């Protein structure tokens, strides 16, 4: 398998009802690659500044992430500051500083150019296309974005979407992108923008997958302790794409398993701040939660004709 991600590598400052953290490791490419790397090698394209702690590079490298495409440039690392209210489903952006990402012109290392699976993580859609242009023959291109880019770079984002097979968005982003309140209508409209499939993430309520006429609904892992929802979306995408790239199949049953694995990876990420839970996570824990999710979703056919003799 060969899975490539372009996205942010960030220093995040976070406020949740359970505490605050300053300048901790974050960014779409960090969460994505840390999760995808459970399934196989993952190649990162991103940029950090001079202030980026070397220990974070060592952590990602220790997970087997290929960092040949990680540039270090003069200036400050991308920074995001966010706050979550008591309802942890909505992130409020307090500040976004693109810093070294503002002028980043990615040049893919030669061995990245044969990547078959590509994840255009949440970052400037111009950059997403600049990376895609350098990949020779991608087999599956997935993409994520957020309100920041939907509002500030809509036309560029629509150009990216024409080249994308699968879009991951949360429900608020789906509504904003499509200009439709109803999530089902929004998803259908997004499919008309280019992607063959769309995954609408709904935080603690799970995810909906739309592809042609097919709809698959998956619930989130019910958790008693959620500390920091940051990175849930990227972890979902990392679990999903990591699995698909590992098995190299895109049939409906594989995609359903991928959605459940995405939910499982996201469920671990939100248990601690930043990427902290992913540092101790084991493949056995992933397997265990997947088995539990399968058990929870299982129910039998009706054994008898429920409405017999009832005029129905």
**Residue numbers at the binding site for ligand AMP (CB under 6 A):** 8, 10, 12, 26-28, 31, 80, 96, 122-123, 146, 148, 230-234
- Which two three-digit tokens encode residue 37? 């790397």
Q: How far is the CB of 178 from ligand AMP (least distance, A)?
A: 18
Cα(30)–Cα(35) distance, integer angstroms: 9
> What's the CA gap between 281 and 238, in Å, rounded?
14
Token readout for 264 is: 């499982």
Smallest gap from Cβ 295 to ligand AMP, in A, equals 27
Cα–Cα distance list, 93 to 12, 82, 128, 152 (Å): 11, 5, 22, 14
2 or 4: CB nearest ligand AMP: 4
* CB of 123 or CB of 157, closer to ligand AMP: 123
Report how far residue 169's alpha carbon sits from residue 217's, in angstroms, rounded to the nearest whole number.
15
Q: Write down the least CB distance from residue 123 to ligand AMP, Å.
A: 5
The smaller minimum CB distance to ligand AMP, of residues 31 and 38, is found at: 31
Token pair of 246 as six digits? 């590992």
Distances (CA, A) of 145 to 22, 112, 283: 24, 22, 28
Least distance from ligand AMP to the Cβ atom of residue 217, Å? 20
Q: Kindly tell me which of 73 and 96 has the beta carbon lying closer to ligand AMP.
A: 96
The CB-of-63 to ligand AMP minimum distance in angstroms stands at 17
Least Å from the CB of residue 309 to ligand AMP: 52
User: How far is Cα 214 from Cα 233, in angstroms, rounded to an integer?
Assistant: 22
Number of residue whose CB is nearest ligand AMP? 26
Q: In this complex, which beta carbon is closest to ligand AMP, that of residue 2 or of residue 80?
A: 80
Residue placing its CB nearer to ligand AMP in the complex, 167 or 232: 232
- Alpha carbon distance 21, 77 (integer Å): 17
């Amino acid at each position: 398998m060969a899975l490539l991600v372009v996205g942010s590598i960030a220093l995040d400052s976070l406020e949740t009802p359970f505490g605050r953290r300053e300048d901790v490791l974050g960014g779409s490419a960090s969460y994505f690659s840390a999760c995808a790397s459970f399934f196989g090698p993952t190649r990162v394209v991103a940029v950090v500044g001079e202030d980026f702690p070397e220990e974070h590079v060592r952590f990602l490298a220790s997970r087997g992430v290929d960092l040949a495409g990680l540039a270090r440039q003069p200036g400050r690392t991308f920074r995001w500051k966010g706050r979550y209210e008591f309802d942890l489903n909505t992130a409020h952006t307090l500040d976004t500083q693109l810093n070294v990402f503002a002028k980043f012109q990615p040049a893919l290392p030669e061995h990245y150019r044969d990547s078959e699976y590509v994840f255009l993580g949440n970052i400037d859609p111009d950059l997403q296309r600049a990376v895609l242009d350098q990949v020779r023959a991608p087999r599956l291109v997935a993409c994520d974005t957020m309100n920041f880019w939907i509002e500030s770079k809509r036309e560029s984002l629509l150009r990216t979407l024409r080249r994308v097979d699968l879009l991951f968005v949360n429900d608020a982003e789906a509504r904003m992108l499509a200009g439709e309140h109803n999530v089902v209508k929004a998803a259908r409209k997004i499919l008309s923008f280019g992607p063959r499939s769309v995954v609408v993430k709904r935080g603690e309520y799970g995810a909906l997958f739309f592809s042609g006429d097919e709809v698959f609904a998956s619930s989130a892992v019910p958790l008693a302790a959620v500390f920091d929802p940051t990175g849930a979306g990227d972890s979902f995408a990392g679990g999903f794409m990591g699995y698909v790239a590992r098995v190299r199949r895109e049939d409906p049953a594989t995609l359903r398993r991928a959605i459940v694995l995405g939910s499982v990876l996201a469920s671990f990420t939100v248990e601690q701040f930043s990427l902290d839970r992913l540092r101790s996570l084991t493949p056995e824990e992933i397997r265990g939660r997947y088995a539990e999710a399968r058990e929870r979703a299982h129910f039998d056919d009706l054994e008898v004709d429920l409405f017999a003799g009832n005029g129905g």
